[in-house]
C-alpha cells in the first residue's frame, strides 16, 4: 500500500510538471514567433511562410528602428513616415503610463480607504457602481469623450490621454485596494487615533506602509493596462508627435503593405518594460489579480 501511494504521488507530480510545462510553452509561443520574425527581412519571411525558423538571421529591423537606416528600394515608398517617431512614441508611452499609474494610486488609495473603513450604504454602492460603469464598452463612450475633450482643447495632447485613462482605469484600482485595506486590522488604526492621529495621518503612516504589496501589485497592473491601451490614444490624438507605442503599431497596417518584421521588432521592444516589471513584482501581480475574490 505504501509503495502504491508513493507511485501515485510521483505520478501526480510528474503530471503536474508536464501540464505546467506545456502551458508555459503554449504561452511563450507568441514570443518565440515575435523573436523569429524580428530577425528576418520581409523578403525572407515571404519566401517560405510555412517555415517558422529563419533561413538567415539579420538585425536590420532593429537597426532601422534605432538608426533610421534606409530600407530596400522595393518597399521604401511604402514605409510609413510615423516610423521616425519611434523614440517619441516610446517616451510618450512611458510618460503616460507612469503618470496614470501614480495618479490612480493616489486617487484609488483615498477612495479605497474610505470605502473599506466608512461602513455606509453609499460607500458600498459607490464601489459597485464604479465597477459597473467600467463594464461599459469603451467605444460607446468615444463620441461624447471626443466632444468633451475638444471643448476643453485637450485633443492631440498627452494631457487628454492621461485624464481619459485615469477615468477609465481608476475603478480597477479602487476594487483591488479596497480588498487589501479591508484585510488590515482596525485595532492599529484605533490605537493611532487615540494617540491623536487624524484619518489622513493613519492612512499615510499606517495603512499605506502595511499595504505595500497591494499597492505594488495594483501599480503593476495599472501600468501594464495603460501601456497596452490602444483605443483611447487612437481616438484622442491624431498627430504623430503624441502617439504611443500601440498607436504606432496600428499605423504599420496599411492598405497596400503590412510590415510584419518591423511590427514584430517593435513588439519585442515594447514588451521589455512590462515584462521586466512583471518579473520583478510577479508575486504582487498574482496577489493583485486575485484580490477581487477576497471578501471585503
Task: Tell me the pLDDT tens digit for each residue of 47-60.
Answer: 776 776 777 888 87
Domain ranges of the chain: 2-78, 83-293
Kindly tell me if the per-residue pLDDT of 294 is higher than 60.
no
Length of the chain: 296
**Distance in angstroms (rounded) separating the CA atoms of residues 219 and 228:** 14
Mean pLDDT, the chain, rounded, equals 80
**Distance in angstroms (rounded) separating the CA atoms of residues 54 and 83:** 24
DSSP helix, strand, coil percent of the chain (3-state; round to 5) = 75, 0, 20
| Predicted confidence band of residue 180 (pLDDT cuts 50, 70, 90) | confident
- Which DSSP letter does residue 55 get? S
* CATH class in words for 83-293: mainly alpha
| Predicted confidence band of residue 77 (pLDDT cuts 50, 70, 90) | very low
- Which DSSP letter does residue 253 get? B
The segment with the largest mean pLDDT, out of 158-172, 204-218, 245-259, is 158-172
Kindly tell me if the per-residue pLDDT of 194 is higher than 60.
yes
**Do 115 and 178 contact (CB within 8 A), yes or no?**
yes
| 158-182 vs 121-134: helix crossing angle, rounded to 10 | 130
**Grid coordinates of 62:** 532593429
For 116-157, write each residue's pLDDT tens digit: 877 777 777 877 887 787 777 778 888 888 888 888 888 888
Kindly tell me if the per-residue pLDDT of 215 is higher than 50.
yes
* Residues with Cβ within 8 Å of residue 174, at least 6 apart in sequence: 108, 111, 112, 115, 127, 130, 131
Query: Which is higher by pLDDT, 7 or 161?
Result: 161
**Do 139 and 179 contact (CB within 8 A), yes or no?**
no
Residue 52, helix vs strand vs coil: coil
Nearest to 191 by CA among 178, 200, 202, 180: 202
Amino acid at each position: 500500500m505504501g509503495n502504491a501511494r508513493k507511485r501515485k504521488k510521483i505520478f501526480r507530480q510528474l503530471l503536474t510538471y508536464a501540464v505546467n510545462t506545456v502551458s508555459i510553452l503554449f504561452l511563450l509561443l507568441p514570443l518565440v514567433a515575435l523573436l523569429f520574425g524580428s530577425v528576418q527581412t520581409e523578403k525572407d519571411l515571404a519566401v517560405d511562410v510555412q517555415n517558422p525558423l529563419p533561413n538567415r538571421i539579420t538585425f536590420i529591423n532593429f537597426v532601422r528602428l534605432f538608426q533610421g537606416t534606409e530600407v530596400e528600394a522595393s518597399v521604401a515608398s511604402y514605409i510609413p513616415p510615423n516610423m521616425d517617431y519611434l523614440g517619441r512614441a516610446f517616451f510618450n508611452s512611458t510618460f503616460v503610463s507612469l503618470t496614470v499609474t501614480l495618479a490612480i494610486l493616489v486617487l484609488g488609495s483615498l477612495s479605497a480607504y474610505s470605502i473599506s473603513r466608512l461602513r455606509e450604504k453609499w460607500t458600498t454602492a459607490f464601489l459597485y457602481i464604479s465597477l459597473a460603469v467600467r463594464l461599459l464598452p469603451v467605444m460607446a463612450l468615444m463620441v461624447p469623450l471626443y466632444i468633451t475633450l475638444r471643448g476643453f482643447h485637450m485633443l492631440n495632447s498627452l494631457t487628454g490621454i492621461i485624464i481619459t485613462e485615469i477615468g477609465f482605469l481608476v475603478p480597477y484600482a479602487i476594487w483591488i485596494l479596497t480588498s487589501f485595506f479591508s484585510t488590515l486590522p482596525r485595532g492599529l488604526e484605533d490605537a493611532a487615533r487615540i494617540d491623536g492621529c487624524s484619518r489622513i495621518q493613519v492612512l499615510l503612516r499606517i495603512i499605506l506602509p502595511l499595504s505595500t504589496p497591494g499597492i505594488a501589485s495594483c501599480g503593476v497592473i495599472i501600468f501594464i493596462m495603460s501601456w497596452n491601451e490602444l483605443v483611447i490614444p487612437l481616438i484622442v490624438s491624431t498627430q504623430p508627435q503624441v502617439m504611443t507605442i500601440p498607436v504606432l503599431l496600428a499605423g504599420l497596417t496599411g492598405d497596400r503593405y503590412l510590415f510584419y518584421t518591423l511590427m514584430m521588432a517593435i513588439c519585442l521592444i515594447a514588451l521589455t518594460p512590462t515584462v521586466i516589471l512583471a518579473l520583478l513584482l510577479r508575486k504582487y501581480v498574482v496577489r493583485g489579480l486575485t484580490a477581487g475574490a477576497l471578501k471585503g
